[in-house]
Amino acid sequence: MTTIKTSELTGAALNYCVEWAITGLTPDYSDDGEVHCPDYDANWEHGGPIAQKLIMDFGFQVTPDFGTVVKFSNYNMDECPVEPNRWDRGEITETGITLLDAACRTYVALSMGDEVDVPEELV
């Protein structure tokens, strides 16, 4: 395992962490870096509901350009998947090349923090 900043997660490592955040279980992966879970960061069928939840349920805002920034605006603590002390700094900003990248990183940051441990094969 290696520690990586949530803001630097991409591809298989990002999908691994999203699946872990959603299910609470680490997904299986192969030695060649293939993760056995959906492509949340590239497939709207899987990643779209995450983006929708962040925007509709947790009050996140998205900038209108494609250097996409998902920025914390307000939240419903009853539904939010984090401990209250996670909000101490008042704002969470994650970026991505696409809305799905930014939404997935935001979901992982909310659920697991600013740094995560991922298998070295996925980095």
Distance CA 73, CA 71 (A): 6
pLDDT for 9 beyond 60: yes
Predicted pLDDT at 116: 95
Q: What is the mean pLDDT of the chain?
A: 80
Burial class (CB in 10 A: 0-12, 13-18, 19+), 93: middle
pLDDT for 64 beyond 70: no
- Residue bearing the bigger pLDDT, 108 or 84: 108
pLDDT, position 85: 43
Least confident of 56-60, 81-85, 119-123: 81-85
At residue 91, the pLDDT reads: 59
